Amino acid sequence: MARRKRGQPIHGWVCLDKPLELGSTEAVTRVRRLFDAQKAGHAGTLDPLATGILPIALGEATKTVPFMMEAEKIYRFSIQWGVSTDSVDREGREIGRSDVRPTLEAVRAALPAFVGEIDQVPPAFSAIRVDGQRAYDLAREGVEVELQARRVTIHEAAVTNAPDADHVEITIRTGKGVYVRSLARDLARTLGAEGHVSALGRERVGPFGLQNAVTLDSLTEMVHRGAASEGLLPVATALDDIPELAVTTEDALQLRQGRPIVLLPRQVETLKTRLSSGSRTVSAFDGETLVALCSMRAGRLEPDRVFNLS
């Protein structure tokens, strides 16, 4: 006898405005419990000391999480000059102190060197695994680990505020895998200063931004008055840059059964003009319902991920 899944079949995305000092895993757990959802996950870890956008997938939306890994992100963060810490944030142990306070002009002049494809060494206090252990666990035990540089992309970086000589605020637009703390560490070194990240907020992850975000408090209020759906975004929200194709109910049934469907020549030509270079991924819809994520090959759509939505 099949074991009954705990919770309700809730499907969609919650664009959570994560509060300070709450870990990403705990945030997912709280949202899942609020909805009593059977399944949940998140797209992109956000440190407890960071606030802002944490997209949380419920139910069938978890199948679209991999498409968010490549999404662009926008971060706004502050560097406090004068003190460096081992974690490059305000909770770390002090490892350096200096009277150097870089000027606004000096910061602006240094930033272009960090824009584009760059090699970045992750901070010692990171979730990267080293011989099966998290780097931050080893760092807390005093074990020195040499992490390898990774190729990452920062599309834009600009000074957006400078409230006083001790602080500068910078906003960046990035690709995947960028560590803000590493950028702050490397920028301080370039400027011959000591510094750490004193505040960090994520303002966007792909299509998820502050304009469609909800707080835990507002989400709790929605759930308690029976309006939980107000806090849910469609499963397809994460697929906003993937071409859509409307299919018939008969074709939708074929795709849900894992069978390919044959496209009309005009459909093939239309999709070719809308697919990004090197991509074959197409989202198939029956009316407003997402049916499957498919690969277009030789005039056919072959289902890769099928969605159980009604």
Question: Is residue 116 packed enough to be buried (19+ CB in 10 Å), middle (13-18) or exposed (0-12)?
Answer: exposed
Distance CA 26, CA 23 (A): 5
In whole angstroms, how large is the CA radius of gyration of the chain? 22
Question: Is residue 304 packed enough to be buried (19+ CB in 10 Å), middle (13-18) or exposed (0-12)?
Answer: middle
Catalytic annotation, pick one of 17, 47, 86, 251 = 47
Half-sphere exposure of 149 (CA within 13 A, CB side): 8
Helix (H) or strand (E) holding 185: helix 180-190
Closest C-alpha among 287, 288, 208, 286 to residue 303: 286
Distance CA 179, CA 137 (A): 18
CB 41 within 8 A of CB 69: no
Is 36 marked active-site?
A: no
Distance CA 85, CA 14 (A): 34
Q: How many CB atoms lie within 10 A of CB 29?
A: 13
Q: Which residues are known to be catalytic?
A: 47
